[in-house]
Structure 1
Amino acid sequence: MDDREDVALTAEDYESVLVAVRMLSSRYRSGWTLNEALDQWRLVVEDIEEGVDTQWAWEYHNELFCRDWLYEAWPLLTVRVRALRQSLLDGLDERFAAATAPMRKQETALGHCRGKWWHDRFPRLVSGEPGDELPETWSPAPEYVEDD
């Protein structure tokens, strides 16, 4: 878990990660560890930066659940664990914000997503068929990029 070899994690640090995993595993489709959730968030951000396939546009918010997991896990982690991972999370969040645009305020995410700013954004770039229907909240329409 530690990117810096000079920082030793304590039993309390490891226990905080285990508590988060246990508490959140029943609410999320995957029993992520902290590292897995961060890695999944990185993969989601990379996909969004490259352009979301219009075929999967309606599943877009489901892909953000790894960020939801991190949001809920963060307060359960020790200060040391958060400090070690904060710069990685902040960097991924910044990349996500740069690769997305804000939804119109009256149509932002509701319910379980309230207060989770990443659900109030949509991809700036999409790939796929230009005629494919996109969610109305993705306005103005994203730019199309070529598929590889």
Structure 2
Amino acid sequence: MATETGAGELLHQRGWRTAFTVAERVNAWAVLVSAIERGYGDHIYEYANDLFCRNWLHEAWLLLDDHIVQLWTPQIRTLDERHKAATVDDDGIALDQFHRVPGPDLWWWRRHPRILTGDLGRSLRSAGAIGADPDTA
């Protein structure tokens, strides 16, 4: 099992653009979840790019020492629950119109924001997503 630095380096060697730390990716997930809760309005491709922070955590969890996993898991679980509360499960149908949705173990790709606003909202609505208008949410 790897240390945080070792996992970041290994994932970087596997194609991630940099050797991220767990703290950086947890923070990125927290920022994304907060944005989704408020109403994520950026472009759909930016949204897809932002979702990859959770992919990194998923991949890192398979490599990290148990004590690091135990340290960070409660915070990630809390963020995951907030994400689930702020999104709608459509099995990835709407998002898949714009970005290939990965397998079912990456569940965050199979959900879209409950509040559909801005560019992301327009794109997802065009793909059949149903969600709340930010003015009524």
Q: TM-score range by the shorter chain?
A: 0.7 to 0.9
> Which of 100, 106, 124 is matched with 2:87 structurally?
100
CA RMSD, aligned part only?
2.7
Per the normalisation by structure 2, the TM-score is: 0.79
1:138 and 1:35 map into 2 onto residues whose CA distance is 35
User: Structure 1 83/77 Cα, relative in aligned 2: closer, same or farther at 3 Å?
Assistant: same
Written as runs of structure 1 = structure 2, the 5 A alignment for 1:1-148 is 16-26=3-13, 27-53=15-41, 55-104=42-91, 113-114=102-103, 115-128=105-118, 132-134=122-124, 136-137=126-127, 139-140=129-130, 142-146=131-135
Q: Which range moves more in the overlay, 110-119 or 92-101?
A: 110-119
1:134 and 1:43 map into 2 onto residues whose CA distance is 21
Amino acid in structure 2 at the alignment position of 1:61 = A
3-state SS of paired residue (2:129): coil
Structure 2: any 5+ residue segments left out of the alignment? none
Moved over 3 A (4+): 104-112, 135-138
Please tell me whether Structure 1 or Structure 2 has the larger radius of gyration of its CA atoms: 1
1:135 and 1:31 map into 2 onto residues whose CA distance is 36
Per the normalisation by structure 1, the TM-score is: 0.74
1:25 and 1:145 map into 2 onto residues whose CA distance is 38
Which has the larger share of strand?
A: 1
1:104 and 1:74 map into 2 onto residues whose CA distance is 23
